[in-house]
Every structure is written in C-alpha cells, then in structure tokens.
C-alpha cells in the first residue's frame, strides 16, 4: 500500500504552496482550499490564519 504524504505543491502555488499541497493531498480543487483558508483567516481575527500558514510553510516539506 502506498502511503500518502503531505507536501507543499510546486505547480499549484501562489505564495508557498501550502494550500496547493493540501488540495493535492485531499484530491480536491486548490481554489476551494484557498477560499476556506481565507475565510478561516478572516473569521478568526486574521492572526491565527496567517500564523498557521507560516507554520505550515516551515513544517511541510516541498515536493521533490
């Protein structure tokens, strides 16, 4: 069985590729993930969404 791993995307990237990588992992549209991330950021007071994106940028490895 092949193990799925989360990577930052190289082809579906706007800034760091985090949302594109999540979309590839979940096999969904990256635009939907970006919209959800933006809504989460706006409705949680901006800081948690931005901080989560920066942490994911650091922790999630880039696809080779």
Domain chopping of the chain, boundaries: 18-59
pLDDT band, residue 64 (cuts 50/70/90): confident
Q: What is the average pLDDT value for the chain, to the nearest integer? A: 89
Q: List, in order, residues 6 or more apart from 55 with CB less than 8 Å away.
A: none
pLDDT surpassing 90 at residue 11: no
- The CA–CA distances, whole Å, from 36 to 13, 19, 22, 30, 61 equal 16, 10, 12, 10, 22
Q: Is this structure's pTM higher than 0.85?
A: no
Rounded Cα–Cα distance for residues 5 and 3 (Å): 6
pLDDT band, residue 33 (cuts 50/70/90): very high
Q: Strand, helix or coil at 43?
A: helix
């Amino acid at each position: 069985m092949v193990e799925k791993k989360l990577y930052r995307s190289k082809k579906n990237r706007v800034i760091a590729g985090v949302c594109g990588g999540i979309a590839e992992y979940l096999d969904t549209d990256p635009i939907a993930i970006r919209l959800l991330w933006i809504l989460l950021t706006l409705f949680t007071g901006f800081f948690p969404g931005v901080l989560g994106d920066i942490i994911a940028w650091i922790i999630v490895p880039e696809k080779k």
